[in-house]
Amino acid sequence: MIRRAAMPAFLAAVALTLTAGCSGGGTAAKPGEPVPVDDRQSPAAVKGETLEGEQLDLASYDGKVVVVNFWASWCGPCRAEAPALEATYQENKDEVAFLGVDIKDTRDGAKAFVRKYGNSYPSLFDPEGKITQSFSSVNPGALPTTLILDREGRVAVQFPGMVSKARLDPALAKIVAER
């Protein structure tokens, strides 16, 4: 009897914990909406090895708007959004940089994902989630998550969950238009 009576409270506590863990993080704006400039935060130093084994430093994109997508080959929504991300990259690559961060994955799985979905922008390989921790102020640990960084490298927009081209394109245009 006591166990049965405690079950609703236990389930409520679990639901609250899961909701907090999957929230959009610490941005001061609704998902997909620009964060007010004064509230934007820069991630810690972000650098690592790409899927191809080359070193890449986010600082090399200084002065450019950057779309950062956190993904994994085993993530269904990541697979679903991959074509939209590639299409947006192809349309904007002269003005906007794209960077994937493959987390908690195998290199072989990640490379197969890139081949299958044709992603032509680089992805950092982050099997232990260390690079992801550099963005802890916005909690991109839930997959997928897509961020738009402004020209100063600050998180300007966050999309927790799967992003569509219809949502990404206008948000990206707003940040590109900032000077």
Q: Assign residue 25 a region (left: φ > 0; alpha: ψ between -120 and 50; beta: otherwise).
A: left
Which one of the listed residues 51, 56, 78, 85 is annotated catalytic? 78
124-129 long-range CB contacts below 8 Å, 24 or more apart? 124/46, 124/48, 124/49, 124/50, 124/51, 124/56, 124/99, 124/100, 125/48, 125/49, 125/50, 125/51, 126/48, 126/101, 126/102, 127/103, 128/104, 129/103, 129/104
- Calpha distance 25→44 (Å, rounded): 16
Close Cβ partners of 137 (under 8 Å, ≥ 6 residues apart):
25, 26, 41, 43, 155
Tokens of 96: 């906007």
75 catalytic? Reply is yes
Q: Per the residue annotation, which of 51, 58, 65, 75 is the catalytic one?
A: 75
Answer yes or no: are the C-beta atoms of 24 and 158 closer than 8 Å: yes
Please say if 22 is a catalytic residue.
Answer: no
Active site residues: 75, 78
